[in-house]
Structure 1
Amino acid sequence: MSDLSTAVPLSALLPLQPYRYRRFGQQLFVGGVLPLDAAGTLIGAGDIEAQTHAVFRNLKAALEAAGLRMADLVRLNTYYVYEGEEADATVYWEKMTRVRLQYFPDPGPAATAVRVQGMGCSGALIQLEAEALAVPVAQRQRIMPVKSWDWSIPVPLSQGWRSGSQVWVGGQVSADRAGKAISLGDLRGQTANVLEHIRHVLLDAGATFSDLTQLKICYLHEGDDEAAEARLQDILSVVRTTCGEPLPAVTAFGVNLLYEGLLLEIDATAQVGIAQQTAQADTGNRNWTAGVQAQRAGSSIQVAGQSADTTALEPACQQVLQRVAEQLRNVGSGPHALAHLHVLVAASEADHDPDQAMRLFTHALQQLCGDSLPPFSMVRLNGLPGGASLQVDAVAIDLSGDARSL
């Protein structure tokens, strides 16, 4: 890759789009679904309800462009911004979700909703990313364990799905059947509750912790980096004890959480009955789990969160993508197989100019992949492990030449 300082002008980059998708056979990945119109103009400034309608219309358009429907969704991640009083956070989520309910299929996807500091697009209050399968619902297994928690308002979402060997586990929290946080003030207790919920989803899907290929850990970060780091290490200690080592590909990031009193949320993926190939940590990478950095099961690859050695955002974009590409090569693949990337930014410079952060990352990704970019979702966060400014994880599908992009 060339130095960004000698690259083409940022004005020459691909324009901001309302979504991107990439399809591999029956599997579709949609990312960066923003409240934008076709010209890249923000819809509904300051209005979470208008923006929620916009992102779901864009998601529906992406699915239809790829030949799928909302009923084909198996995973849906929602990132949203809320800056009001903490006591009103759940009310805000419910207001947003009542709009989402107008678009959710029934049964709905396994879902995770995470409150973030911002997006890579100025003024955006919500962003979606999704996975869908061109497989009839009747040929998939919906997973709704008897031992589980529930949302604070009725929703048609699912705790998990299985199709073939693949299992998707929606975001699990330490809550009860009324959506109220439990084990308040007890980090290890909440972590154990979350992992028990994951275990029951896996169990109903015919899987165990040993089948996990990815864990995404959202942990409470209230502005104190040292306290947040200690919280993450305590969570990882319980995860290691419960799930065994080595851990699968892990991504972790600091956020404010939905329900008052929650300290973490975890979602997961698994592959049942398929031999797995892994790439372990290397000493050159600023990784913080010292575990699996890439995990391959058949054609599916999960790359753990990769961080840079620099906190400056511009060189970090290139370095992190180089590390993602290296991990793909370590399991016999490459950037051509990228299906979706999560771009997690904690750099203060991005808070001042989120659009610049988006342009810098897009340019670095163009250098790696060319103009046919894989989908990616960029969010700004309260903090990342080890004080990193940028972390990127990825999912890839290694089917030779069977990807169609927009």
Structure 2
Amino acid sequence: MFLKVEERKVAVAELVEGMYVCRLDRDWEGTPFPLQGVMIASQADIDLLASLCEWVYVDTLLGLAPREPAVAAAPVRDVGPVFENSEIEALQHSQAYPQLAAFDTELPQAREAQAEVVRLATRILDEVRAGRPIAAGEVREAVEPMVRSMVRNADAFLWVDRLRERGDYAYDHALGCSALAAALGRHLGLPEPLLVDLASGALLLDIGKLRVPPELLARPGPLAPDEMHQVQAHVQHALDLLDHGAAVPAHVCDMIATHHERVDGSGYPAALDGDRIPLLGRIAAVIDSYHAMTSPRPYRPAMAQHVALQQLYRGRGTAYAGELVEQFMQCMSVYPVGSLVELNTGEVAIVMAQNAARRLMPRVMVLTTPDREVLEHFGTLDLMMQGDRDAAIRIAGALSPEECGLDPVELFL
């Protein structure tokens, strides 16, 4: 038997004695409450909650209901300015992002930022699965630590994210697209508030797929026309979810609405072409496709990153905006962070960080012996910092996990 729950979202400032708080805007862990629920018995209870969170959910079956319009009066987080597409286009290359922290210095902060975005994004997606509305402020709160880390050193966060343990594809895709969108926006020189918007929109690109039958999303073969229509309807589902009080900026909604449009007009849902697709939508098309290609699916293995870049390049001018594909390839570099490569010594290594001055000479971590035996301890090597150029170790070529029998995620877990 399931207990019936009637929840109402209430600002802490609106709480009164007799209300029963059943959920917080944060985890119960780390609070002084022994149980996941508390009856408001005094002003002291309200003051304690005010020191821990901004809003809560109250169960109206176990306590008093908030007075109308208490829910409407709850504070709304700042969701940032609204930009016209022409403004966003003009803001490209308006912001320079020098490396503010060395890779090793940023790495601990990148790990913290990644743990935070995983925790908050998972909670947001879980709440959508449960039928609760999206709060735009929570989405921004989830991605802001990641954006700040990437502003300081993008490679450190991409390295941590690439080695993240994988789980449910919907969650992995949302998190991966969010990081890639911030990285590309940084490379394009967009201002930091727009990086947050990009990361927020990318996190929500496929939120509508939570309303699509999962068996259709995992189907390896072609879909019937009505099944294809159900899958494509995820775009409208996402917009419907955002329309229910999420206060998401219009340009972020436009990004989500157009991430399946294609520059030759072959996309959906509106068959827009060329510059009729807003810039954020054109960016989303690139990063959404790239992350999908480089992720394992039930019906195929993950595509190697360098192969996915080649696929994007072949689609420039038809599926994807040519200049954005080229910018994305520059952003990811010849050997993207997390790529497996073979060195001219026969050893297998993984790319950790780029050297902007010498793209063919990144910093790598050596994983195997020349005979492809996995090393007990992995050593790092900056290919650009070698002294004797004639005897220098260099990359012979990129590898797929299948070619070398290695899964970097498993090695580092």
TM-score norm. by structure 1 comes to 0.31
Whose strand fraction is larger, Structure 1's or Structure 2's? 1
Name the structure, 1 or 2, with higher relative contact order (CA <8 Å, separation 6+): 1
Taking structure 2 as the reference length, the TM-score comes to 0.31
Please tell me whether Structure 1 or Structure 2 has the larger radius of gyration of its CA atoms: 2
